[in-house]
Amino acid sequence: MPKPLVTYDTIRRLALSMPDVEESTSYGTPALKVKRQLFLRLHQDLDKIVLRMPFDRREELMAEDPDTYFITDHYRDYPWVLVSLAKVRSDALRDLLNIAYRTAQTAKKRRV
């Protein structure tokens, strides 16, 4: 049985059900923010998302499933992970979004 196809719209609908999430853009692509803090955007290649992620959790994800979770040199020093839409399991989305959401909220608190 093939796994369900995950699209940006699938992710968008889930995220918009969370408190204070709003649609925006980042680098010319659709994005989602919580209280004006970016936590997710569609990558310009349109086949992956860029998701805010603490460094330790990012390393765990990449070690567990490097075909789904990875970074490029650009993201090496930033708390973000790339997620392949073709490979991510739909049952992992809610947890991924919750981590990104909380990480963005924490980043805002640290700035204040």
Provide the residue count of the chain.
Answer: 112
CA distances from 84 to 3, 12, 74, 88 (A): 14, 15, 17, 6
Q: What is the mean pLDDT of the chain?
A: 92
The pTM (predicted TM-score) of the whole model is: 0.91
Domains of the chain: 8-107 (3.90.1150.30)
Does 1 have pLDDT greater than 50? no
Please report which helix (H) or strand (E) contains residue 96, including its range: helix 93-111
Question: What six digits make up the tokens of 25?
Answer: 């853009």
CA distances from 87 to 35, 59, 65, 71, 82 (A): 29, 17, 9, 15, 11
- Report which of residues 109 and 6 the model is more confident about: 6
